[in-house]
């Protein structure tokens, strides 16, 4: 694909992770299976610890919200007060987490628990965050040219920092000026991007957002951001209409920074 220029008014780049900076296969084939394989052991080991209790409390609140909204959810509800049958309570948490993951839910409660579990895997060296080879050199170039670079992912801020802090390229956290997750809003909600612009301290039109998901691109565009769709191996195929509407890149190295020294 040819080079793509980003508008001269751009002062910040906002990057998605899965399918944009990082292969989808890393998330689907390494991160998610790790949760499925180790969830019950994690809960059994840490059940009485404050962090685990908070994770379970958030899951319980999410279930209550799902029931209020008449969303489908597992029959069991999480109740951490059932000390007489800890194993039963743990099984109910496992059932709910597995159900959310199977439905590809992006709930903050799920993402927080996953982040806490991945922390042990990253710090022990069992997992290293995968990053496409064009990402680090490109981000370094953008920063040298005076741009700020932020991450916005459905994964928790903690999970984002683990991926980039324990990556195949080493600790590259200093390449990013900030991180956003679903606590600021869903990625398919245009209001989320307005809040991010406000938090960064610039106008929406001064941000260029890179993602592989057209629904996120649409929401960002509605908020006034410039958008580029990233086409990587394994990403969801775009419709002809989407391909015609958006500027597409297959590598960050295609971005041209016009009007910058």
The count of other CB atoms within 10 Å of the CB of residue 67 is 12
How many Å is the Cα radius of gyration of the chain? 19
Q: Is 227 left (phi over 0), alpha (psi -120 to 50) or beta?
A: beta
18 is in an annotated binding site: yes
- Separation between Cα atoms, residue 119 and residue 158, nearest integer Å: 8
Count CA atoms within 13 Å of residue 148 on its CB side: 14
222 is in an annotated binding site: no
- Separation between Cα atoms, residue 243 and residue 228, nearest integer Å: 11
What does each C-alpha distance from 72 to 47, 62, 244 come to in angstroms?
26, 12, 36
154 is in an annotated binding site: yes
187 is in an annotated binding site: yes
- Separation between Cα atoms, residue 175 and residue 165, nearest integer Å: 10
Q: Give binding residues as ranges.
A: 16, 18, 153-154, 187, 212
Q: Give binding residues for Mg(2+) as ranges.
A: 16, 18, 212
Q: Give binding residues for substrate as ranges.
A: 153-154, 187
């Amino acid at each position: 694909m040819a080079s793509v220029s980003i508008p001269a008014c751009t002062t910040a780049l906002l990057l998605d992770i899965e399918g944009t900076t990082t292969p989808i296969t890393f998330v689907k084939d390494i991160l998610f299976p790790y949760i499925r394989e180790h969830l019950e052991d994690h809960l059994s080991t840490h059940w009485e610890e404050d962090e685990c209790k908070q994770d379970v409390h958030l899951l319980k609140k999410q279930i209550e919200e799902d029931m209020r909204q008449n969303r489908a959810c597992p029959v069991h509800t999480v109740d951490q007060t059932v000390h007489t049958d800890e194993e039963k309570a743990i099984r109910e948490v496992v059932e709910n987490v597995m159900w959310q993951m199977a439905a590809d839910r992006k709930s903050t409660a799920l993402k927080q628990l996953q982040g806490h579990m991945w922390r042990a895997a990253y710090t022990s060296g069992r997992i290293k965050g995968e990053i496409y080879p064009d990402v680090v050199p490109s981000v370094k170039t953008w920063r040298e040219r005076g741009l700020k670079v932020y991450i916005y992912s459905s994964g928790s801020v903690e999970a984002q920092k683990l991926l980039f802090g324990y990556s195949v390229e080493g600790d590259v956290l200093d390449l990013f000026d900030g991180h956003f997750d679903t606590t600021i809003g869903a990625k398919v909600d245009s209001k989320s991007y307005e809040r991010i612009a406000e938090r960064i301290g610039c106008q929406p039109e001064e941000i260029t957002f890179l993602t592989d998901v057209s629904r996120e691109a649409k929401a960002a565009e509605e908020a006034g951001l410039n958008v580029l769709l990233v086409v990587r191996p394994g990403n969801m195929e775009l419709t002809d209409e989407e391909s015609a509407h958006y500027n597409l890149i297959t590598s960050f190295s295609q971005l041209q920074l016009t009007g910058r020294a």
